[in-house]
Chains A and B, each alone.
Chain A
Amino acid sequence: MSEQPKTDVREDGVTRRQFVKGLGAVSATAVFGGTILGGLLFPNGVMAIPASTGYLLVDMKKCQGCNTCMMACSLAHHGEQNLSLSRIQIVQDSWKGYPDDIGIEACRQCKDPKCVEACPTGAMHADADTGEVRLVDADKCIGCMQCVEACPHGSGRVIWNHEEGHAQKCDLCANTPFWDHKGGPGGTQACISVCPVNAIKYTDTLPGDDGYEVNLRGKGWAAIGLSTD
């Protein structure tokens, strides 16, 4: 009927209660103190992300809207032709006037990649092993979709893989389990290889903001009677 809890009391030295109090105080101080200090010393951690060594350039006026690039991309990466899993997207509206009837949404491997910055776990990162291509380590992706939302380019270039539950994006075909080839920067890309009109081009030079959309229509195009401007 005692109000005192039964504890093992050491005759000398610290009781367990004292130990717990002390541990609590120290850890609380460390956490709160460390957080405040860290917030002051490292506000909004600045990340220096190396530039990619490869980029895709597109000619939206040349695209014939056949979706072959989308089928090739998803087939090479996932073993199935699935437009929802393609890391390049062709958006169309049949009733719009050219050139507003088609958009090619390809990842720009941005110099300041918002998707990488947005990722809380480093799953989306610039991958040193593959020429600093911005890509997703699916094992580390927690599926928060911040990267998907962060892409500033219309029709975000980060894809949500609804079959496997993680984000993914254009890796310049660095990892294509279903296509036997050398990919990544310096290698071949599925979309470029199959595009019937050669509307996608690879470059290793960082384009300026307006440099991702290029004119790939030359003499041959003019010879067919199609416009080259």
Chain B
Amino acid sequence: MHRRAVSIALFALAAIGGYGAYAASRLASASGGGASYVLLFDKFGWMVLAAPALGILIAGFSKRQDPRIEGDRVLRHDGPAMLEHWTHGLATTLLLVTGIVLGLLFVPRLIEGSEAIGFVMNLHFVGVVFFLFGTFYWASNTVISSYRLSEHLPSKNAIEYTKRHYGLLLGMKKFTMPPEEKYFESERMAFILAVASTVVIIITGFLKVSAHVWDLSGSLMKTVTMTHDVATVAMLAFFLAHVFFAAVLPMSWPVLRSMFTGYLSLDNAEEEHRGWLAAIKGEEASDERAA
């Protein structure tokens, strides 16, 4: 599918969602006094289930491409990978911002007034829909191609490779660059945090949404909300580290570019992802340790 078309469609959906979040949050007077706004979590709660369902369904029809070398570049992320990443990632950004603004743990709510609160809660809802779609889309793709999970999880080389990789970066000459695979071992360890916080956020989030439908006890909801908040902080930690290492650090910019174009330069792959390149070529990775 054309990247541009899909991107435009998603942005359009997000814009509609954003506008809808705003419009729904405007207070309307009720006859007989009082007023209300539309809380999307309450009136469109079915979308919280529809989004994962859609993610699963579309994953079933998504054609994947394996990594391959094309001249001086390597195909690192295919279309579905970019779809997964950006829906999940941008939604996470929106969720973190709106979640923090609404107040969590010891951070007080940063906005006042029912319309402002309604708008931010509705934005949070929009974020939830995209987040669930992206997460379940990725999870379903991973069920289909389980190697995509194993390449994210840390290997037995996790600690050793990370020490060598970052020791070298910090200028310690006794270390040599290990043959990192598609994802650095350090990133694969961070992945655990991302998955754990995502799973907890989703489970507690589902429970919070189901409180709109079923009568759940106050003590349960108190625990659920607290857990949701703690998982949010964990997610925030991962998010900040991820954005810093993957996007802010200049040495990561080639890989950042691949998240948009799909392609990584062969030079960069040779330097930083020797193990991955070797696997693509079907070879053994060379690994010279310093004496």
Binding site for B on A (CB under 8 A): 1-8, 16-25, 27-28, 30-32, 34-35, 114, 118, 120-123, 137-140, 142-146, 148-154, 156, 162, 165
How long is the Cα–Cα vector from A157 to B216 in the complex, in angstroms? Answer: 25
CB distance from A145 to the nearest CB of B (A): 4
Give 6 A-B contacts (CB < 8 Å), ordered by A residue.
A1-B66, A5-B66, A5-B144, A7-B145, A24-B59, A146-B36
Q: Known: A143-B117, A149-B37. Contact between A20 and B53, CB under 8 A? A: no
Cβ A146 vs Cβ B46 within 8 A: no
Query: Does B39 sit at the interface, judged by CB under 8 A?
Result: yes
* CB nearest to B44 among chain A residues: A35
CB distance from A141 to the nearest CB of B (A): 9
Cβ A143 vs Cβ B103 within 8 A: yes
Cβ B212 vs Cβ A20 within 8 A: no
How long is the Cα–Cα vector from A165 to B112 in the complex, in angstroms? Answer: 11
Q: Which residues of chain A come closer than 8 Å to B68, judged between CB atoms?
A: 1
Give the secondary structure class of A's interface.
loop
With beta carbons under 8 angstroms apart, the residue of A17, A24, A34, A149 that contacts B114 is A149
Q: Which residues of chain B come closer than 8 Å to A8, judged between CB atoms?
A: 146
Cβ A122 vs Cβ B42 within 8 A: no
* CB nearest to B64 among chain A residues: A5
Q: Known: A140-B216, A144-B39. Contact between A2 and B66, CB under 8 A? A: yes
With beta carbons under 8 angstroms apart, the residue of A16, A18, A34, A139 that contacts B218 is A139
Q: Which residues of chain A come closer than 8 Å to B52, judged between CB atoms?
A: 27
Q: Which residues of chain A come closer than 8 Å to B212, judged between CB atoms?
A: 120-121
Q: Which residues of chain B come closer than 8 Å to A35, judged between CB atoms?
A: 46, 50
* CB nearest to A22 among chain B residues: B60
8 A Cβ contacts from B34-65 to A: 34-37, 39, 41-42, 46, 49-50, 52-61, 63-65
- The segment from B2-10, B25-33, B180-188, B256-264 that touches chain A is B25-33
Cβ A6 vs Cβ B32 within 8 A: no
Q: Which residues of chain A come closer than 8 Å to B36, judged between CB atoms?
A: 118, 146, 149-150
18 other A-B residue contacts (CB within 8 Å) besides A27-B56, A139-B219: A2-B66, A16-B143, A20-B60, A21-B57, A21-B60, A23-B140, A24-B53, A24-B59, A140-B221, A143-B117, A144-B121, A146-B36, A146-B39, A149-B34, A149-B35, A149-B36, A149-B37, A150-B30
CB distance from A10 to the nearest CB of B (A): 13
Q: Which residues of chain B come closer than 8 Å to A28, judged between CB atoms?
A: 50, 53-54, 56-57
Cβ B56 vs Cβ A20 within 8 A: yes
How long is the Cα–Cα vector from A22 to B140 in the complex, in angstroms? Answer: 11
Cβ B56 vs Cβ A23 within 8 A: yes
Q: Which residues of chain B come closer than 8 Å to A120, judged between CB atoms?
A: 39, 41-42, 212
Most B Cβ at <10 Å: residue of A118, A140, A151:
A140
Cβ A24 vs Cβ B109 within 8 A: no
Cβ B117 vs Cβ A150 within 8 A: no
Query: Does B108 sit at the interface, judged by CB under 8 A?
Result: yes
Q: Known: A21-B60, A31-B46. Contact between A149 and B144, CB under 8 A? A: no
8 A Cβ contacts from B184-224 to A: 208, 211-212, 215-216, 218-219, 221-222
Q: Known: A120-B39, A144-B118, A165-B108. Contact between A21 and B61, CB under 8 A? A: yes
Q: Which residues of chain B come closer than 8 Å to A154, judged between CB atoms?
A: 33
Query: Does B126 sit at the interface, judged by CB under 8 A?
Result: no
CB distance from A122 to the nearest CB of B (A): 5
